[in-house]
Amino acid sequence: MNPIDTYAAALQAGELLEPWPELSLPQAYEIAARRHQLRLVRGERAVGRKIGHTNRANWASQGIAGPSWGWLYAASTAPLGGCLSLAGWREPKVELECVLRLRHSPRSAADLPDCVDAMALGLEIVDRPYPSWQISVADSVAAGGVHAGLRVGPWRAPDPALLRELQAELQVGTHQSRGSSALVFGSPLTALAELMALLAKQGAPALQAGELITTGALAPALPLQAGETLRARIDGLGECELALSRD
């Protein structure tokens, strides 16, 4: 087994790994693609994509020139409920996102407003397979965007004008973060166009009808702790309150 396959298999097994020394983005996507194939062989079903690193203000310090992406899976995706179990996760964090659902596969960025048939508030949970959160963008990409789970609120009719004006607030215990559409290229639709361009550049599978797309963190991520309460709000998309447990 070559090193790429070995590393992908270790990630898939849930092992705690040291980051790959001097991992490049092309290598990271190769590892992620190999792990994705392992998941499909195991019987998992992909339901969409996640967009990461959408805040241009951070790109210089992160050593990147564009966003990243990873797969979403049915097994880790569920409707929002009144509680969230943190069991099985090492040091989870939560990102507050706008989730878009595709009616059909877009042919170009100009098609996107007509391709989206619903939008919703989403909570993406990320977790580290590494000893700490001190990791590079490439480390994150190799681990599938460190995606651990997705909880999606009630679906609403899409509104392109509203998507340009989203205001978001996230609170976990006493920790708070706020943000807006400015952190996702000015609109989740623009983030979706960036994803399309990135997939085409990489020769990755194109977006398909029915896919769910998490369009990037509207507010900075916060750590999750059992016993605390998570509250989230996106104006126009709704709000939620979840009890956090280890059960």
- pLDDT tens per residue, range 111-133: 899 999 999 999 999 999 999 99
- pLDDT higher at 107 or 228: 228
Question: Can you spell out the DSSP letters for 2-50?
Answer: -HHHHHHHHHHTT---PPPTT--HHHHHHHHHHHHHHHHHTT--EEEEE
Tell me if residue 169 falls in helix, strand or coil: strand
Split at pLDDT 50, 70, 90, the class of 210 is very high
Starting at the earlier edge strand, list the strands of the sheet with 147-152. 68-73, 46-52, 212-223, 93-102, 116-126, 147-152, 77-79
What percentage of the chain reaches a pLDDT higher than 70?
Answer: 100
Q: And the tokens for 201?
A: 């550049």
Give the model's pLDDT for residue 212.
Answer: 98
Is the backbone of residue 123 left (phi > 0), alpha (psi -120 to 50) or beta? beta
Separation of alpha carbons 162 and 169, rounded Å: 16
Among residues 147, 151, 149, the alpha carbon closest in space to that of 99 is found at: 151
Q: And the tokens for 41?
A: 């062989």
Among residues 166, 181, 150, 131, the alpha carbon closest in space to that of 236 is found at: 166
Whether residue 101 has pLDDT greater than 80: yes
Whether residue 247 has pLDDT greater than 90: no
**Interval 147-195: pLDDT, tens:** 999 999 999 999 999 999 999 999 999 999 999 999 999 999 999 999 9
Average pLDDT for residues 81-96, to the nearest whole number?
96
Whether residue 1 has pLDDT greater than 80: no
Give the model's pLDDT for residue 110.
Answer: 87
Give the model's pLDDT for residue 196.
Answer: 96
Whether residue 58 has pLDDT greater than 80: yes
Separation of alpha carbons 37 and 46, rounded Å: 10
Helix (H) or strand (E) holding 90: none
Give the model's pLDDT for residue 108.
Answer: 87
Whether residue 109 has pLDDT greater than 90: no
Give the model's pLDDT for residue 151.
Answer: 98
Split at pLDDT 50, 70, 90, the class of 18 is very high
Helix (H) or strand (E) holding 125: strand 116-126
Give the model's pLDDT for residue 120.
Answer: 98
CA distances 99 to 31, 64, 150, 162, 220, Å, are 26, 24, 10, 13, 16
Give the model's pLDDT for residue 138.
Answer: 98
Give the model's pLDDT for residue 71.
Answer: 98
- Domains of the chain by range and CATH? 3-245 (3.90.850.10)
Give the model's pLDDT for residue 99.
Answer: 98
